[in-house]
Structure 1
Amino acid sequence: MKKTLTLVAAALLAACTQSPTGRSQLLLNNEGQVDQMGIQSFDELKKKEKIDTDPKTNRYVQCVAGAITHVLPGEQQGNWEVVVFDSKEVNAFALPGKKIGVYTGLLKVADSPDQLAAVLGHEVGHVLAHHSNERLTQNQLTTGALVLAEVALGVSDTKNRDLYMAAIGLGATVGVLLPYSRKQESEADAIGLKLMAQAGFDPSQAVTLWHNMEKSNSGAPPELLSTHPSAGTRIQRLEKALPSVLPLYRAAPSHPSCKL
């Protein structure tokens, strides 16, 4: 028993890492396997949702997404699949495995390239910070389903397939929703603000975006009852962070001209 506990402690220690903002994380799953889960979730969603094929809309979204992914570090750059879904839903997402989805309803609220960049920077921030892996780890530890000797996420045959797929971030796909925590959402906001500035998008428009979001979502639950920070809290934090990222925006080698 003592030997087992020692092995468990060693495994947990080895899995400790830091997010891009310096926050301590525990990641117990192989990133390659998490990427495969994201790819499979995305493929499933494309079969279920209506895909928007309008060339103008797709060029616009690809332009903004391409600028964001171009400034990502190392192997995260390039080759991201971007799909526009024809839906009134005001939403977008990014998944491990280099996948981005944008719902056309979002384009009515994020009504400029800079505002869309704020959303996509935030969503890609979740991927950069390995939030899906972190959430999987937290769920495994909470449910007691973790076997440290062999953390195998073979999505096609795992007993908890739906639970694991939901943890990637596509709750609507499998009927189970495990949303990101407020801490992860705030971290993705910080990462996204930096990414959009580096990509040449005006970071001050992230504040405008959330004012728009606040107007379009008057029925949102109180912050304490939600996993997402309230729009007001987000606006305050973004305004406070602006002075640190405006120099990145001014120093950006280009400022994308994406038009819808």
Structure 2
Amino acid sequence: MKRYFPFGLFGAFVFTMGCATNPLTGKSSLALVNNSSIFPSAFQQYSTFLKENKVVSGTADAKRVETVGIKIKQAAEKWLTAVGHPDYLKDYQWEYKLVEDKAVNAWCMPGGKIVVYTGILPVTKDEAGLATVMGHEVAHALLNHGQQRMSAGILQQAGAVGVGLAVGEKSEQTQALAMTAYGAGSQMFGMLPFSRSHESEADKIGLILMAIAGYNPEAAVPFWQRMGAASGGQAPPEFMSTHPSHDTRVSNLTKWIPEAKKEAAKYGVVFK
């Protein structure tokens, strides 16, 4: 007897029961895992990370990270209140830490737990550069990108099960080829573009957040140009990467700057 995976039925379930609308974008996105499950795990992982790494405190750089983080958080609160969702952040537990590490990186866990590595500070240079980074990372958290990646992973696994069932009566060689093709295809044409879209979305929302927080969004362009220079041109081609190319990033940010300034003006923040 042939076995078929019920893709249509499963897809209907996903898009009726596994989606959520984000108040900042108005877009529906995958939400197969609830934040009520994700946040506690993220908070625990963050606590463990801080215990296992050197947290920098009491320095001007550490104070700057906290200052910028608070301003970005307040900008998010203003924006969400203005669009009618003042309680959206009620389960977030904001924390901003500078960690001694040469990596040129920063991240924000689901629920508002932020880490900035000392290695990125020479690239950020000033508060506006740091606001570019932290606005981007906070945007990931506000847009529930972690939740969406987990949900996409579940769908990818479900697809693998479907492929396995579809070729279950074929030869072992055919099964192996089918699974290899599915793995490569779902990564190249599914997960990687999905991740790049998240990065671009976080760039745009992060630009608006930094503007509302009082930082000129024009500072984002030279920051990403410096990031491009810091990478030494070693990044893989965009279609093989989880991130947009630096050229694409700079082009998009330049295009979005007027919109960010216009949004900030609604809150009394005007840039000359």
TM superposition score normalised by structure 1: 0.77
Query: Counterpart of 1:135?
Result: 149
Question: How far did residue 224 of structure 1 move?
Answer: 1.9
Amino acid at match of 1:212: R
Instruction: Indicate the SS of the match to 2:115.
Output: strand
Amino acid at match of 1:60: R
- Indicate the RMSD between aligned Cα atoms, in angstroms: 2.8
Structure 1 residue 181 corresponds to structure 2 residue 201: no
DSSP 3-state at the match of 2:56: coil
Task: Tell whether 2:124 aligns with 1:120.
Answer: no
Residues 252 and 7 of structure 1: is their aligned pair in 2 closer, same or farther, counting only changes over 3 Å?
Answer: closer
Asked if structure 2 preserves the Cα contact closer than 8 Å seen for 1:85 and 1:102, the reply is: yes
Q: Does 2:76 correspond to 1:63?
A: no
Q: Which residue, 14, 18, 24 being the options, matches 1:15?
A: 18
Q: Paired residue for 1:203, among 194, 217, 231?
A: 217
Unpaired runs of 5+ residues, structure 1, are 146-177, 256-260
Change (3 A) 1:39 1:180: farther
- Call closer, same or farther: CA 1:117–1:180 in 2, change over 3 Å: farther
Distance 1:180 1:16 in 2: 16
Supply the AA of the counterpart residue of 2:237. Answer: P
Could you tell me whether the CA contact under 8 Å between 1:122 and 1:192 is conserved in 2? yes
Name the CA distance, whole Å, in 2 between partners of 1:139 and 1:249.
35
Higher relative contact order (CA 8 A, sep 6+): 1
Question: Who is 1:111 aligned against?
Answer: 125
- What amino acid does structure 1 have at the position aligned with 2:246? A
AA in 2 matched with 1:13: T
CA change 1:226–1:8 in 2 (3 A) is closer
Once the two structures are TM-superposed, the CA of residue 40 in structure 1 deviates from its matched residue by: 1.7
Moved more, 33-42 or 45-54: 45-54
Contact 2:211 2:269 in 1 (8 A): no
What letter is aligned with 1:105? G
Q: Alpha carbons of 1:225 and 1:13: their partners in 2 closer, same or farther (altered >3 Å)?
A: same
Q: Who is 2:98 aligned against?
A: 84
Match of residue 239, structure 2, among 224, 231, 239: 224
**Partners of 1:9 and 1:63 in 2: CA distance:** 45
Shift of the alpha carbon at 1:29? 0.9
Deviations 1:181-220 (A, max 9, x none): 1010000001100101111111000011101101111122
Give the direction of change, closer, same or farther, for the CA distance of 1:24–1:55 in structure 2 (3 Å limit): same
TM superposition shift of 1:180: 7.1
Q: Does the 8 Å contact 2:56/2:98 carry over to 1?
A: yes
Larger fraction in helix: 2
Q: Which is greater in Rg?
A: 2
Aligned partner of residue 88 in structure 1, secondary structure: coil
* Aligned residue pairs, count: 223
| Structure 1 position 252, deviation (Å) | 4.6
TM-score normalised according to structure 2 size: 0.74
Residue aligned with 2:217, SS: coil
Amino acid at match of 2:223: L
Alpha-carbon shift at residue 58 of structure 1 (Å): 1.5
**Cα offset for 1:55?**
2.7
**1:138 Cα offset (Å):** 0.8
- 2:46 alignment partner in structure 1: 42
- Tell me the residue number matched to 1:30: 34
The answer as to whether partners of 1:21 and 1:187 remain within 8 angstroms in 2 is no
User: Are the aligned partners of 2:108 and 2:138 in contact in 1 as well (CA < 8 Å)?
Assistant: yes
Q: Where in structure 2 are there 5+ consecutive unaligned residues?
A: 1-7, 81-85, 160-191
Q: Once the two structures are superposed, what CA deviation does each residue of 1:160-195 show, in whole Å capped at 9, x if it has no partner?
A: xxxxxxxxxxxxxxxxxx997101000000110010
